[in-house]
Structure 1
């Protein structure tokens, strides 16, 4: 039996450790483990539909509640609020998708599947990377559906056109994937589904609401403005918005990727260290 077969059949594996000579490369491990996670998406597309409800409801609700912000001083001239809001929702929904990764990971730890992976000669970090990659694929489908529905139902017509909107979606995926390691790290150290949901929810609140997602930074009080500028999500939202609205975006995109990449690298190292601990 190949490594691929053993990983694919992980729930049925025994606790016996496999010989080190049968080790597969990290690339093979990632491919097989990612495929295992993606099978759930293929077998049950309702997962994508269900994951769409939160961002779509948030987009519809906030576009109506805060639509008057577009008439406030300091708001970008000639920009409709829905065009201002959609790039922010893309970034925040990409981050929140990682919360599903964290919850799924804790459920697998509790169910014993992770313990069976430990009996295999695979790098522990590949399990985490594979889950992150699989949920990024699911999030990519979510982003495309969000763009289509925002255009069809709310009249989303960004000045950057379709290419700008797609560029914003790609940037949102990259930023969300990096910052999502914060939630994976929380799951690897806490390892309790209910507690992970609570702690990750608390972490999500400042990342989403203490940012420039819903109002321009200049419209915020001075103390909150300082918090927003320290929030790594702010840079991703600013860059995605610049791409969608057709403004100068290169410097913002580089800054966003650098900041989120640095945060993601630190969080990934913490996550892998926590994942390697024995319960």
Structure 2
């Protein structure tokens, strides 16, 4: 966010005694942040191309895993892999929202917002909403490349694919709030990214993202079964493979709500303390 966002928020907020509704504040801040993101052509190009190396590396280098015991019969590895990449790609968008928050904290933008009739939590909601827009763009690019270049097919059809995107974004939304809570604690993008990388490595590899849980060693299998990423990937995968998905989808949305309910108050309290 920039000084333009400050002026936009001030214009819509009115006076200190009678600020704009929270929904208006969130709308103004979100619209500005999304416009800024789309106007940065280099960032937009990186966002669009980011799924390609993941498809190349994971799709080609790990394709032999389709022969391990427990792998679903008759399923191409690219069809097994893309749902996992959908979740992890959306997750990166949540992390980027938290990284942008550290920039705002260190730049003093949130401190200047204190002089306005603005609920500071609306800044976090706007960052999170922008992360959903960014995640949607990345997911559309990922699915398009996987379909056109690597032969990915969604057996469930278009409606389950849309629901699968919604599930991936729900996971990203929830963990994005957790990352923003950490951002208020670390206050430095470098520290946040190092901590997030340390957390995301076991989240990705101690799960069903690249292998069936039954093919993992016993101790790693136990970790994978309580890993929230496992449930998100299972829900997205069931939808794209055209398999029964209601229990896993319901569990994933419920878990996302629980994580958001726990992390959002911590993030809002943290930004009030640090701004």
Fold shared, TM-score > 0.5 on shorter chain: yes
Paired with 2:41 and 2:205, the residues of 1 have a C-alpha distance of: 30
Q: Cα gap change, 1:12/1:63 in structure 2, threshold over 3 Å: closer, same or farther?
A: closer
Q: Does 1:254 align with 2:250?
A: yes
Partner of residue 156, structure 1? 152
Work out the number of aligned pairs and report it: 272
Residues 168, 45 of structure 1: alpha-carbon distance in 2 compared, 3 angstrom cutoff: farther
User: Where does structure 1 differ by over 6 angstroms across 4 or more consecutive aligned residues?
Assistant: 11-14
Tell me the equivalent position of 2:53.
57
Distance in 2, matches of 1:166 and 1:8, equals: 34
Shift of 1:164: 2.8
For 2:265, the equivalent position in structure 1 comes to 269
Q: Distance in 2 between matches of 1:278 and 1:92?
A: 29
CA–CA separation in structure 2 for the residues paired with 1:257 and 1:13? 32
Mapped to 1, the partners of 2:247 and 2:210 lie a distance apart of: 22
Q: Does 1:43 align with 2:32?
A: no
Contact 1:187-1:196 at 8 Å conserved across structures? yes
Structure 1 unaligned runs (5+)? 1-5
52-61 or 174-183, which deviates more:
52-61
User: Cα distance 1:18–1:27, how it changes in 2: closer, same or farther (>3 A)?
Assistant: closer
Q: In the alignment, is the contact (CA less than 8 A) between 1:70 and 1:81 conserved in 2?
A: yes
Aligned equivalents of 2:110 and 2:217: distance in 1? 46
Task: Provide the C-alpha distance between the structure 2 equivalents of 1:66 and 1:23, rounded to a whole number of angstroms.
Answer: 54
Name the CA distance, whole Å, in 1 between partners of 2:103 and 2:94. 14
Q: Could you list the per-position Cα deviations for residues 194-242 of structure 1 after superposition, in whole angstroms to 9, with x for gaps in the alignment?
A: 2112112212212222211100001001110111111111111000000
What is residue 23 of structure 1 aligned with on the other side?
Answer: 19
Does the aligned pair in 2 maintain the 1:63–1:82 contact within 8 Å? yes
Secondary structure of the 1:180 match is helix
- Call closer, same or farther: CA 1:278–1:70 in 2, change over 3 Å: closer
Distance 2:3 2:225 in 1: 43
The 1-side partners of 2:15 and 2:47 are apart by 40
Hey, what does 2:189 align to over in structure 1? 193
User: Aligned Cα RMSD in Å?
Assistant: 2.2
Match status 1:242 vs 2:238: yes
Map residues 147-226 of structure 1 onto 2, 5 A cutoff: 147-226=143-222
* SS of corresponding position for 1:74: coil
Greater shift in the superposed pair: 247-256 or 156-165: 156-165
Aligned to 1:3: none
| Alpha-carbon contact 1:87-1:237 (below 8 Å) kept | yes
Query: SS at 2:155's partner residue?
Result: coil
User: TM-score w.r.t. structure 2 length?
Assistant: 0.92
